[in-house]
Structure 1
């Protein structure tokens, strides 16, 4: 499998942390070839462009990190290559205030996007043609992925790896930077009401992960957490951003993806191990959630295993 080219744009006023996250996570994966694109206006501590801005329009993936004073327009020399990349079908990723660059270039017109919660209002008011979603870790609209602050930038990078090379590869990349590789984009950036540590439902989520192959209901989870069903659902959604059964379904799909990538188990065995029951139900749910059949998914990611082995 050939490497995918990633143009990491060193925009003026770039935030070093937002730049270093994709540089480290994507640059550390053998499936990507990272090109730092920019000119003398996009330099900073540890940032030295090694490719011209014209390389942006020729890349498979373009990553725009966050930058200071996002309301101040970027030079047209940075915007034109972004439009060219979008026109030829590249995937575009914005971390934090990088969404302002895509919006200024007109790439987000009519699309859903997010950014750091401090800048949601500014993005919405400055670019009313963009459907700005608040309090999301990341939002994917077609080939455009926008994310919140630095931590959510990690999630966006892991999501890219998962899309290109599978769940096992994202899991390994997550281990490398010591983060959980399966945070859903719907998870909130923040929670207004702080809960005491003992109120966390992490123990119940861990219990679910150990029993994915068994029948699991909301009542089972509420009983494990020693909460009423209504209170459990409210707390669970506040902590994770999704409903309990949606969270269970997401992790069953992730578990199935990992087994398809790393084992030679039959579909029937994977269906049983991840709680889908019958192979027919597994195939139907997997196709709905992933967009392809388990057999085709396994075939597609065989090349990814060869590249990373």
Structure 2
């Protein structure tokens, strides 16, 4: 598999090295280290012949025009963690040039992958329109507002759609690399994961901080505070809207636009977050259920397992 990793100034160091280390380990474990036969033929490419990473390391890269047609172009994240920094980064001349290339490459049938903030370059190029994608969960509200034509599912770790693969926040570079290795050989991917002590993760859901996302919008932030105060009581859209002095439809539309989910689904997120915390502290499941508005502990057990992929016993081990 020929991979061209597109490297720009300010690249997120850990993301880039995670990609390189996983592909190198896969080649080593496959016993195909020779250039002519290795499983993954990886090239670093860019607009310049040298780039500087976010931490200041200088890296030599090959010109885009000199690289043989790859099977995948992989875009690691640039180090921009806030919306205003994303806007500044996307306006850079070298980034605009790369976005133009991405659009052309995708039009020629080349497959493209990106992780974390790298997904914003793909969205800017328009190649995510009308398809599913994921991105770093902390920037999901900004992503939704910026690219409404993209079907964003920020709970997913890796999403493949229309010859494009996207991955989630920061360490999602690892998940993207393993996804690419699995495309070549599921058995090799399992072997690499065991050697590198890395688990397969299908969801970012357990890492999302609901109140962080809520603060992207004043009304949603107020709804988040109301929801936390009423976890033990239960959810009512009409009661929430009345308490916030807005119409129920307005609250529904705003939470869906900002969070990509209904007010009830967000209320459930807060229930799960609170229950997870209390279980980890050692509270019995009956007390926890009452605290988050469930009369039947079995219902809460099912919700935790479905949302987090772990049961009460596993969550208790989080106390370490």
TM-score range, shorter chain: 0.5 to 0.7
Q: Is the CA contact (8 Å cut-off) linking 1:94 and 1:145 kept in structure 2?
A: yes
Judged with a 3 Å threshold, the aligned counterparts in structure 2 of structure 1 residues 108 and 40 are, in CA distance, closer, same or farther, namely: same
Which of 29, 41, 46 is the aligned partner of 1:33? 41
Q: Is the CA contact (8 Å cut-off) linking 1:57 and 1:85 kept in structure 2?
A: no
Structure 2 CA distance for aligned equivalents of residues 120 and 86 of structure 1: 24
Shift of 1:98: 0.3
Structure 2 CA distance for aligned equivalents of residues 188 and 56 of structure 1: 39
Q: Is the CA contact (8 Å cut-off) linking 1:148 and 1:189 kept in structure 2?
A: no
Q: Is the CA contact (8 Å cut-off) linking 1:10 and 1:47 kept in structure 2?
A: no
Q: In the alignment, which residue of structure 2 is the partner of 1:236?
A: 305
Does residue 174 of structure 1 match 2:193?
A: yes
Shift of 1:150: 2.4
Structure 2: where are the runs of 5+ without partners?
28-38, 211-272, 283-295, 311-320
Look at both structures and tell me which one has the larger radius of gyration over its CA atoms: 2
Which of 76, 80, 87 is the aligned partner of 1:71? 87
Shift of 1:187: 5.3
Structure 1: where are the runs of 5+ without partners?
200-226, 242-309
Judged with a 3 Å threshold, the aligned counterparts in structure 2 of structure 1 residues 56 and 14 are, in CA distance, closer, same or farther, namely: farther
- 1:211-290 matches, within 5 Å, as 229-240=298-309
Q: Is the CA contact (8 Å cut-off) linking 2:50 and 2:58 kept in structure 1?
A: no
Shift of 1:186: 7.3
Shift of 1:9: 0.9
Which of 98, 106, 111 is the aligned partner of 2:118? 98
Does residue 11 of structure 1 match 2:44?
A: no
Q: In the alignment, which residue of structure 2 is the partner of 1:22?
A: 19
Shift of 1:41: 7.1
Structure 1 CA distance for aligned equivalents of residues 170 and 23 of structure 2: 14
Shift of 1:190: 2.9
Does residue 184 of structure 1 match 2:202?
A: yes
Instruction: Give aligned pairs, total.
Output: 211
Q: Is the CA contact (8 Å cut-off) linking 1:112 and 1:132 kept in structure 2?
A: yes
Judged with a 3 Å threshold, the aligned counterparts in structure 2 of structure 1 residues 81 and 29 are, in CA distance, closer, same or farther, namely: farther
Q: In the alignment, which residue of structure 2 is the partner of 1:131?
A: 151
Question: Secondary structure in 2 aligned to 1:37?
Answer: strand
Does residue 60 of structure 1 match 2:60?
A: no
Shift of 1:160: 1.4
Q: Is the CA contact (8 Å cut-off) linking 1:53 and 1:81 kept in structure 2?
A: no
Structure 1 CA distance for aligned equivalents of residues 101 and 152 of structure 2: 23
Structure 1 CA distance for aligned equivalents of residues 23 and 41 of structure 2: 8
Deviations 1:4-61 (A, max 9, x none): 1111111232111121111111233221111111115732244513311235782111
Question: Secondary structure in 2 aligned to 1:238?
Answer: helix
